[in-house]
Amino acid sequence: MSLWEYANPVKFMRLSGAVLPWLSAAAAVALVAGLGWGFATPPDYRQGATVKIMFVHVPAAMMAINAWMMMLVASLIWIVRRHHVSALAARAAAPVGAVMTVIALVTGAIWGQPMWGSWWEWDPRLTSFLVLFLFYVGYIALWSAVEDPDSAADLTSVLCLVGSVFALLSRYAALFWNQGLHQGASLSVRAGERMAPVYKQPLYLCMLAFFLLFLALVLARTRTEIRRRRTAALIAREARP
């Protein structure tokens, strides 16, 4: 049996239904443990207690990008192999990714305020996350605007492909545009090798927790989407003469 068998909605529902409770439980445990461990770490000698916001900020930022990657892969699978579950998974991941982006932006602002003395700086890193959020908004808006679900899946996939290229392009353009102004303001903490192990270990756990959380959310949302499509199909069949 090939992996593609799970793209069949019925099989997907059966498998995901079995996996989801365990996945959710694992995500909850990892989240509580990771964040608890993170908050128990000693304050940084330079940044004080504000450094602890890192345990939310960094995993959220990571998942904001990974969610878009996942959407890109799912869109490609839909375009190439026409697996309906794949298109719905991409749709399900978008709001989760958008929320992760918002979390990363908000926690970044809260973290940056005492560090840089302002809530928002047009740092390339911050700017590219704002741009990423705009791409999420456009993608979600297109999904909800197109009435025919097949057309919506096709159009959003094309948008996701083109958007990926331009999101990346914007990232480097932003780097070019505001190079050096705020460079390094937070990099020393983010770069793993220069971080004390006392922070690194809980951070890894938090990253795992956010990853599991993302998986659980996307799986649950995909199941909702499938149920919604099934309802629509049943209603359409009833309405038939």
Partner 1 sequence: MAPLLTVTMLAVARGGRRAVEGVSFQLDPGAALILRGPNGIGKTTLLRTVAGLQDPVEGRIDLVPDSVAYAGHADGLKGALTVAENLAFWAQLFGAGRAQVDAALRALDLGDLADRPAAMLSAGQRRRLGLARLLVTGRPLWVLDEPTVSLDAASVLLFASAVRAHLACGGAALIATHVDLGLPEAAVLDLTPYRADPARPAGRAPASFDEAFG
Partner 2 sequence: MKAVFLRDLRLAFRAGGGVGLGLAFFLIVCTLVPFGVGAGGDILSRIAPGIMWVGALLACLLSLDRIFALDGEDGSLDLLATAPLPLEGVVLAKAAAHWVTTGLPLVVAAPLFGLLLHLPTPALPWLLTSLALGTPALSMLGAFGAALTVGVRRGGLLLSALVLPLYIPTLIFGAETVRLGAAGQDPATPLALLAGITLAVVAAIPFAAAAALRVNLR
Q: Which parts of this chain interact with partner 1 (CB under 8 A)?
A: 9, 84, 87, 148-150, 153, 226, 229-230, 232-234, 236-237, 240
8 A C-beta contact, residue 53 and residue 104:
no
Distance CA 162, CA 184 (A): 31
Q: Please choose which of partner 1, partner 2, none residue 198 contacts, taking the beta carbon within 5 to 8 angstroms, the exact cut-off set by kind.
A: none
Quick one: 158 or 187, whose CB is closer to partner 2? 158
Q: Is 159 in the site for partner 2 (CB under 8 A)?
A: yes
Binding partner selected for residue 1 from partner 2, partner 1, none, CB under the kind-specific 5 to 8 Å limit: none
To partner 2, the closest distance from the beta carbon of 174 in angstroms equals 7
- Kindly state the smallest distance separating residue 201's Cβ from partner 2, in Å: 37
Which residues make Cβ contacts (< 8 Å) with residue 171, sequence separation at least 6? 124, 128, 131
Residue at 122: amino acid letter: W
Q: What tokens appear for 149 in the block?
A: 């679900």
Sole binder of partner 2 in the list 49, 114, 151, 224 (CB under 8 A): 151
The length of the chain in residues reads: 241
Residue 233's SS3 state is helix
Applying CB under 8 A, does 25 fall inside the site for partner 2?
A: no
C-alpha R_g of the chain: 20
> Which partner, partner 2, partner 1, none, binds residue 240 by CB below 5 to 8 Å per kind?
partner 1
- CB of 191 closer than 8 Å to CB of 111: no
Min separation Cβ 145 and partner 1, Å: 16
